[in-house]
A and B are shown apart, each in its own frame.
Chain A
Amino acid sequence: MSVDVAIARDGGLDAELAEPGRRLRLPFSPWHLVLFPLAVIMLTPLLWMLVTSLETFAETQHFPPILIPHSLHWQNYPDALRAAPFGRWFLNTTIVTTIVVASNLLLCSLAGYAFARIKFFGREAVFMLIIATLMIPFQVIMIPTFLIVKRLGLLDSIGALMVPNLANAFGIFMLRQFFRTLPVELEEAARMDGASRLGVLFKIVLPLSGPALATLAVILFMWTWNDFLWPLIAIINNQDAVTLQLGLTQFQGAHTTQWNLLMAGNVMSMIPMLVLFFAAQRYFVRGIATTGLKG
């Protein structure tokens, strides 16, 4: 990859050969010298998790830690699945995450579009208020949220995990900013062609907002899928409402922790996120929104 870049900058391989030794060139960008160690630091915990998930319980207890297991103990995975209602947790997390992501994409689009394009009294003030809520840490509103959810009678059910998160300020902010970058003439043209405000949003604006929607979806998916603190508070006794992150703590006993099973469970809980991330990656590229305008 980096080699390609170097060649391309020189106007092709021929140019490179025609003027040998014109300039000493690394076969990679100097930035890689910084990025590579950083990548190692980021990947180490993941690799360690993977390694631990393939060790026997005895190996996990060894000190100094065994970084290369004697054999790959795949049995941990079925054991982890059997040791706990993994399927139920997985299902709960999937339901909560899917609904939260879907509802955020819809509601944040609607709100973001209104803030981006529709003029109404108090628009800027309300928008600033929404932005301001981004500054408040969850820990501050945790107890009020708990009380509201309790009043709603949702406590100890997966409803409690979804309702407070159906829309969020970050999504509104992000989509508003993106919508404002779209050429307004497209929307004016659609309005003159007979589209309603909602028609403009759904037929013109959203199809051109693929990158923003994909990014927001991935971020929300990560937040919701990995959320631990709120499920810990909102789910009290109901074993049928336990999510993955909450459930995985059950491997941590008071006296011993089944590290190999816990890590096997962790690896499994990460897979959907990795799949989603790689699947959505190509949408992150800035879209085609301006290609209908003059050349």
Chain B
Amino acid sequence: MADVRFVDVTKEFPGGTVAVDHLTLDVADGEFVILVGPSGCGKTTALRIVAGLEKPTSGRISIGGRVMNPVSPRDRDIAMVFQNYALYPHMTVYRNLAFGLREHHTPKHETDRRVRRVSAMLGLDDLLKRRPAQLSGGQRQRVAMGRALVREPKVFLLDEPLSNLDAKLRVQMRAELKRIHQAVGVTTIHVTHDQIEAMTLGDRVAVLCAGRLQQLGTPQDVYERPVNLFVAAFIGSPSMNLLRAGSSQGRLTAGGLALELGGFPEGELVVGLRPEALHLSNGLDSQPSIELEVDVVEPLGNETLVHGQVRAQAAAVGIDDEDVSTPVGAPSRLTGRPGDRAVITARLGAGDRPSPGERITLSVNPRDVHVFDPHTGLALGREGP
């Protein structure tokens, strides 16, 4: 086991694409860290740099205190689970699992013992004689995990290991992954673009965009206190509602929503409201409210998602924008559609089921409001109630 450190790591591909841009990140011994971001944000490249499959253009990568830049993948003592599993098609499951141990000249009885232990742990006992072609997607995924586990490496690298599974299996394997990490306790770096994986699996989450680290923190931290517009918009599903707002004399006004929030610079701002920050108003409380014209209602059983229009101007962040030259959250990336109607989403209780076309009043607790600078994209500290 060992910690993993990125020190000012940059990877520029021939042709000028900067996949990883001055990344500095410490993963503690035994920690489970999630690298999350939209496609093309450099998260897989960062993982491959740890693996030794890509050489960083500059910067240092170290594992367990040892600088790994010149060390070949085979000597790094790390194991990786690939997105497409990359099982050796011509070998049985047993030999797939044993391959790494054989390459490291592990004694035969030891190899056998470890393969048996891992196959029991993952429920692969009955599959050991099969070839990958004879396995289902979930079984292949487990063999891929097993091949990494059996090596008992210092670091696990998981490259979107669950993305090729169907929804039900994914939930199952997600829990399995957590269980394995709790049992084995190996330092793990997990790359994903899946919100839920990011929120549920990791001790800490690193949000990347355009090769740059946006925020590093516990899942709770990143969700509740996003440092900039990108993180705010990217983390959470459905994502945060962003509205253009103006601030003057201790009041924030976003279209029909007026908030008594002081302490922000005068002028243009962006306010962010998580869908669960919007409540159906009973008309009695004194909280600020906004009227929503319901378009679509999605009852999910335990809650109801209501999409509709409010009188305000939307501010959207181009999350999937792969243009790395513009800093995140800069004005050019704020792509709010002109007009005075903004589409927002509210997460209401299971019993609250307005019908399409209906007008409902949603109230907001000012404490749940996020405020951002539209020019830098950075979150602004809040004062007041």
Q: Which residues on A are within 8 Å of B, measured CB to CB?
A: 183, 185-186, 188-196, 199, 203-204, 207-208, 288-295
Cα of A145 to Cα of B140 in the assembled complex, Å: 53
Determine if A192 and B131 form an interchain contact, defined as CB atoms under 8 angstroms apart. no
Cβ–Cβ < 8 Å partners of A193 in chain B: 74, 79, 99-100, 103, 147, 151
A207 close to B137 (CB less than 8 A): no
Chain B 71-111 residues near chain A, CB threshold 8 A: 72-74, 76, 78-80, 82-90, 99-100, 103-104
CA distance A290 to B89 in the complex (A): 7
CB contacts (< 8 Å) of A186 on chain B: these are 86, 88-89
Interface of B is mostly: loop
Known: A189-B82, A295-B140. A195 touches B103 (CB 8 A): yes
Report the separation of the CA atoms of residues A289 and B84 in the bound assembly, to the nearest whole angstrom. 13
Beta-carbon contact of B89 and A185 below 8 Å: no
> Contact at B90–A207, with CB atoms within 8 Å?
yes
Give the number of chain B interface residues (Cβ < 8 Å). Answer: 32
27 A-B residue pairs with Cβ-Cβ distance under 8 Å, sorted by A, are A183-B84, A185-B82, A185-B84, A186-B86, A186-B88, A186-B89, A189-B80, A189-B82, A189-B88, A190-B88, A190-B99, A191-B74, A192-B73, A193-B79, A193-B103, A194-B103, A194-B104, A207-B90, A290-B89, A291-B131, A291-B132, A292-B133, A294-B84, A294-B137, A294-B140, A294-B164, A295-B136
Q: Is the CB of A192 within 8 A of B74?
A: yes
| Binary A-proximity of B121-153 (CB < 8 A = 1, otherwise 0) | 000000000011100110010000001000100
Question: From residue B223, how far is it (CB to closest CB) to chain A in Å?
Answer: 30
Given A191-B73, A191-B74, A193-B147, A294 and B85 contact (CB-CB distance below 8 Å): yes
Shortest CB-to-CB span from A224 to chain B, Å, is 29
Q: Given A191-B74, A194-B100: A295 and B137 within 8 A (CB)?
A: yes
In-complex Cβ contact of B86 among A188, A196, A207, A288 (8 A) = A188
> Residue A291 contacts which of B78, B83, B133, B147 (CB distance < 8 angstroms)?
B133
Query: Given A192-B51, A192-B79, A192-B80: A292 and B74 within 8 A (CB)?
Result: no
For the complex, give the distance between the alpha carbons of A196 and B87 in Å: 18
Q: Cβ of B132 and Cβ of A204 under 8 Å apart?
A: no
Apart from A193-B151, A195-B103, list 12 A-B contacts with CB within 8 A. A188-B51, A191-B74, A192-B51, A192-B52, A192-B53, A192-B76, A194-B74, A203-B99, A288-B89, A292-B88, A292-B89, A294-B164
Residue of chain B at shortest CB distance from A193: B100
Q: Given A194-B103, A195-B74, are A208 and B89 also a contact pair (CB < 8 Å)?
A: yes
Look across to chain A and name the residue whose beta carbon is closest to the beta carbon of B72: A191
Q: Mark B161-172, 1 if CB is under 8 A from A, else 0.
A: 000100000000
Distance A155 CA – B78 CA, assembled complex (angstroms): 55
Distance between Cα atoms of A291 and B99 in the complex (Å) = 18
Given contacts A191-B73, A193-B99, contact A293 B85 (CB under 8 A): yes
Which among B85, B86, B137 has the greatest number of chain A C-beta atoms within 10 A? Answer: B86
Interface residues of B in 16-52 (CB under 8 A from A): 51-52
Give bound CA distance, A190 to B104, whole Å.
Answer: 12
Task: Give CA–CA (A192, B75) in the complex, Å.
Answer: 8
A195 and B147 CA atoms in complex are apart in Å by 14
Shortest CB–CB separation between residue A228 and chain B, in angstroms? 39
Name the residue among A189, A190, A207, A289 with the largest chain B CB count within 10 angstroms.
A189
Complex contact A208–B103 (CB within 8 A): no
Residues of A within 8 A of B90 (CB): 207-208, 288
- Residues on A with C-beta less than 8 A from B164 are 294-295
- Chain A's nearest CB lies how many Å from the CB of B133? 4
**Complexed CA–CA distance, A95 and B347 (Å):** 80
- Across the A-B interface, the 10 shortest Cβ-Cβ residue pairs: A194-B103, A193-B100, A291-B133, A292-B87, A292-B89, A185-B86, A292-B132, A189-B86, A294-B164, A293-B84
* Nearest chain A CB to B114 CB, angstrom units: 14
Task: Tell me whether A192 and B89 are in contact (CB under 8 A).
Answer: no
In angstroms, Cα B152 to Cα A193, docked, is 11
By a CB distance below 8 angstroms, the chain A residues around B74 are 191-196
Q: What A residues does B51 contact at CB under 8 A?
A: 188, 192
A188 with B147: CB separation less than 8 A: no
Contacts of B87 in A (CB 8 A): 292-293
A204 contacts B79, C-beta separation under 8 Å: no
In the complex, chain B residues whose CB is within 8 Å of the CB of A288: 89-90, 133
A188: which B residues are within 8 A, CB to CB?
A: 51, 53, 73, 80, 82, 86
Residue of B nearest to A295 (CB): B137
Interface centre among A183, A193, A203 (most CB of B within 10 A): A193
